[in-house]
């Protein structure tokens, strides 16, 4: 088991390939659930400072980064014209009231070493979308 097996299970589809709002939330939720300790252990990887890397490695070479380039929601909303204004149309951005990456203290920043704040926010987002 390694970072490659982790990617195969939790990030099998690139963020850019997700086309619907609900799919994007589910894609993001799956990725963040992959950073839970039970899943890290199963793949012999670690999660630190928004990176998945092989356990015991100090290097970020070949690490998987949790950022806008691996976020299906960012792909749909933030990268339309590289303006953070589009984050306001993002269902997660609407829930938390701001962009994930621009303002400290919100779920993304609090999830630097523990994915639970993002998992909680994404579950709420998915629940809201299902009500519509």
* Pairwise CA distance, residues 30 & 35, whole Å: 9
Contacting residues for 84 by C-beta, under 8 A, at least 6 apart: 78, 99, 102
Q: What is the pLDDT of residues 42-72, one digit of tens each?
A: 999 999 999 999 988 888 888 999 998 999 9
Secondary structure letter of residue 69 according to DSSP: G
Question: How many domains, in total, are found in the chain?
Answer: 1
pTM, 2 dp? 0.91
Q: Which residues contact 116 (CB under 8 A, 6 or more apart)?
A: 36
C-alpha 85: how far from chain center: 19
């Amino acid at each position: 088991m390694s970072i490659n097996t982790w990617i195969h299970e939790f990030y099998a589809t690139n963020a850019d390939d997700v086309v619907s709002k609900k799919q994007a939330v589910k894609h993001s939720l799956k990725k963040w659930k992959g950073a839970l300790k039970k899943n890290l252990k199963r793949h012999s990887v670690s999660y630190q400072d928004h990176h998945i890397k092989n356990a015991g490695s100090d290097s970020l070479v070949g690490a998987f980064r949790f950022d806008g380039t691996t976020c299906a929601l960012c792909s749909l909303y933030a990268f339309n014209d590289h303006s953070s204004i589009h984050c306001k149309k993002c269902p997660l951005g609407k829930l938390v009231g701001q962009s994930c990456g621009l303002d400290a203290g919100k779920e993304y920043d609090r999830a630097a070493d523990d994915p639970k704040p993002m998992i909680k926010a994404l579950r709420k987002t998915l629940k809201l979308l299902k009500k519509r």
